[in-house]
Amino acid sequence: MDIKKTPKKLNVKEKYRLMTRDLAWEPSYRDEKEIYPYVDYEGIKVHDWSKWEDPFRLTMDAYWKYQAEKERKYYAIIDAHAQNNGHLNVTDARYLTAIKLFLQSISPGEYASHRGFARVGREFAGVGPQVACQMQSIDEIRHAQTQVHAMSNYNKFYNGFKDFANQRDRIWYTSVARSFFDDAMSAGPFEFLIAIGFSFEYVLTNLLFVPFMSGAAYNGDMATCTFGFSAQSDEARHMTLGLECIKFMLEQDPDNIPIVQKWIDKWFWRGCRLLTLVAAMMDYMLPKRVMSWREAWNIYGVENGNALFRDLARYGIKPPMHWDDVEKSIDHTSHQIMLGLYQWKFGTAFHSWTPTASDIEWLKEKYPTTFEKYYLPRWEYAIAQKENGGEYNNFGLPKLCQTCQLPCLFTEPDDPTQLAHRETEYEGEKYHFCSDGCQHVFEQEPEKYVQAWLPMPSMMQEPLKGDLAAWMEWASLEPTAAGEYASSEDKANFEKWRKQVSTD
pLDDT at 114 over 70: yes
Distance CA 7, CA 18 (A): 15
pLDDT at 62 over 90: no
Give the model's pLDDT for residue 232: 78
Give the model's pLDDT for residue 478: 46
Which CATH code for domain 76-503? Answer: 1.10.620.20
pLDDT at 394 over 80: yes
Range ranked top by mean pLDDT from 2-16, 35-49, 223-237 = 35-49
Give the model's pLDDT for residue 504: 47
Cα–chain center distance at 75: 25
For range 179-196, the mean pLDDT: 94
Distance CA 289, CA 92 (A): 12
DSSP string across 137-172:
HHHHHHHHHHHHHHHHHHHTTSSSSTTHHHHHHH-G
* 420 SS3 class: coil
Distance CA 331, CA 371 (A): 8
Beta bridge partners of 429: 426
Angle at 90 between CA 284 and CA 351, to 5 degrees: 45
Percentage with pLDDT > 90 across the chain:
47
- Lowest-confidence region among 67-81, 236-250, 392-406, 460-474: 460-474
- Residue 187, classified by CB atoms within 10 Å of its CB into exposed (0-12), middle (13-18) or buried (19+), is buried
With both helix axes pointing from N to C terminus, report the angle between 468-475 and 488-502 in degrees, rounded to the nearest 10: 140
- pLDDT tens across 325-384, in order? 999 999 999 999 999 999 998 888 888 899 999 999 999 999 999 999 999 999 999 999
Please give, one letter per residue, the 3-state secondary structure of 18-84. Answer: HHCHHHCCCCCCCCHHHHCCCCCCCCCCCCCHHHCCCCCCCCHHHHHHHHHHHHHHHHHHHHHHHHC
- Lowest-confidence region among 9-13, 102-106, 114-118, 272-276: 9-13
Q: Phi and psi for 435 in degrees, rounded to 5?
A: -170, 165
The closest of 392, 385, 274 to 342, measured between CA atoms, is: 392
Predicted structure pTM score? 0.87
Q: Phi and psi for 417 in degrees, rounded to 5?
A: -95, -5
Residues in the chain: 504
Higher pLDDT: 235 or 7? It is: 235
- pLDDT tens across 274-303, in order? 999 999 999 999 999 989 999 999 998 898
Beta bridge partners of 415: 412
E-strand ranges in 191-233 read none
For range 475-502, the mean pLDDT: 51
pLDDT at 52 over 90: no
For range 148-167, the mean pLDDT: 87
